[in-house]
Amino acid sequence: MKKFNSIIIASFGLVLLIAAHGLVAWGGIKLSGKIGGWLPWTAGGALMAFGLYHVIRQIRGKGHGHSHVFGGHAYSPGEVERGPHDGFLVNLGHGFVEIAIFETDVPPRFRLFPYDEHKQARSVPRNTIVKIVTVRPDDTRQTFDFHPKGEYLESATEIPKPHEFKAIVQVSHGSHTHTHEVHFSDHDQAHHAPGTPKHTSTGNVIHGAMRYDLQIWLLTLGRERIFREKVLRLAHLEPGESVLDVGCGTGTLLIAAKRHVGPTGTAYGIDASPEMIARASKKAKKAGVEVDFKNGVAETLPFPDAQFDAVLTTIMLHHLPPKARQQCASEIRRILKPGGRVLAVDFGGTAREKKSLLPRFHRHGHVNLRDIIAVLNEAGLNSVESGAVGISDLQFVLAAAPMLPVVTAIATNASPKP
């Protein structure tokens, strides 16, 4: 009977899923009818294809057990937490496991720490088999088996560097298997004391570079060039300036920004996804533009103090939980020159206030404009200008770092006392 009920529930969920994607396709067609022209029809068709792609993925599924992906797919900020050992805390449904990389006076290895439903440390469960398969950007795979080491499980083999890969974690007990994905990337060495675990951003990390480009194209209805120019005009870039794009994605905006700052200016991009950085580097090489892309996270920017005149962050902050946004804002303040500026662009308003179709389809959420201004102000960045970008429901905040105080020396011609 329980199995029969489960089938009914699963079937009902599948019907709702197909209906939801059908609604997305219908919305694309309606949008085409309103705007007119061939371009919206193309966008509507792309939405239909994208929706069909997700339906097929859901129908095909991941096999038996449960599958949870952290990084490439949507989740609310509270679903991924840091554990006491600064690893990823993953919910197994009947408890948690913390996944971390440790190299304290030993070669780097995975360590898994089990917790109960209340996130209290517990002993390693008996008859539990754990396996991790790492998948690197070049599709190289390595399997890690685990052995109990007192209160945690440790991988039997070392983790080769660099630590940039997708880790597919399989936890089996009896006939039940949980499958999770966690994305790791190396950080700049100067910002990490030896022996501390390495990890990715605590926010959403998108690893589908081509899918990301498609989403941006759909968001702008094929007007990505217009979108880029609007953003760069808001940033007030000048020739000879140094600019950084935090969460640069596949680099299209930064390549355009480099043309604004010219040959005497410099352009840097940073993203937590190795796949994004790889695609961005290819774009820059093809465009013949000198841009420096780095793999890193917004919470710990691998740049010295007061290096940049301008920092850009577009459609990125909503991927970060509140604490990570504060860390990102503080890091931006640190690397900005006195009087330097930051331009933050993101989906604004509440879910009910959203009028465009794609931000709902994007699924990663939004950030209230007032919240962006507040977090920048807390970091010492004063809001100069804010408002609507003019595309979808995107909003912007332009904030500036304070100037250095001016000290004026006043000379006096007072006669010396006798």
The amino acid sitting at 157 is T
Q: Cis link prior to 239 (omega < 30° from 0)?
A: no
Residues 222, 289 contacting (CB under 8 angstroms): no
> What integer is the mean pLDDT of 360-375?
71
Domain 209-400 in CATH 3.30.1490.20? The answer is no
Higher pLDDT, 20 or 322: 322
The amino acid sitting at 4 is F
pLDDT at 43: 58
> What integer is the mean pLDDT of 17-36?
59
Residues 21, 55 contacting (CB under 8 angstroms): yes
Q: How far apart are CA 176 and CA 52, in angstroms?
A: 30
Long-range contacts of 140-144 (CB under 8 A, 24+ apart): 144/110
Across 47-51, 155-159, 402-406, least confident range: 47-51
Residue 11 predicted with pLDDT over 50:
yes
Q: How far apart are CA 288 and CA 265, in angstroms?
A: 15
Provide the CB-side half-sphere exposure for 401 (13 A, CA): 22
User: Tokens 């599924």 correspond to what residue?
Assistant: 61
CATH code at 68-191: 2.60.40.3340
Higher pLDDT, 16 or 326: 326
Backbone angles phi, psi at 63, to 5 degrees: 90, -160
pLDDT at 51: 58
Sheet with 152-155: strands ordered across: 66-69, 176-184, 165-173, 128-135, 141-149, 152-155, 109-115, 96-102, 88-91, 81-82
pLDDT digits (tens, 9 = 90+) for 242-277: 999 999 988 999 999 999 999 999 999 998 888 888
Residues 70, 183 contacting (CB under 8 angstroms): yes
Closest to 109 (Cα-Cα) out of 147, 167, 157, 171 = 157
Ordered by start, the domain boundaries in the chain are: 11-61, 68-191, 209-400
Extended beta strands in 247-326, E state: 266-271, 292-295, 308-314
Residue 171 predicted with pLDDT over 80:
yes
Residue 187 predicted with pLDDT over 50:
no
Long-range contacts of 220-224 (CB under 8 A, 24+ apart): 220/391, 220/392, 221/35, 221/39, 221/40, 221/43, 222/39, 222/42, 222/43, 223/391, 224/252
Higher pLDDT, 8 or 291: 291
Backbone angles phi, psi at 385, to 5 degrees: -155, 145
Confidence of residue 394 (pLDDT cuts 50, 70, 90): confident
Task: Provide the Cα torsion 300, 381, 76, 50; round to 10°.
Answer: -90
pLDDT at 312: 95
pLDDT at 358: 45
Q: Provide the 8-state DSSP code for 257.
A: H
CA distances from 380 to 58, 336, 345, 405 (A): 45, 11, 18, 15
Instruction: Locate 230 and state its tokens.
Output: 């609007």
Closest to 271 (Cα-Cα) out of 375, 201, 175 = 201
Mean confidence (pLDDT) of the chain? 75
Tell me if the pTM is above 0.85. Answer: no
Q: What angle do CA 217, 76, 101 make, to 5 degrees?
A: 100
Confidence of residue 91 (pLDDT cuts 50, 70, 90): confident
- Find the helix packing angle between 369-378 and 322-335, rounded to 10°: 50
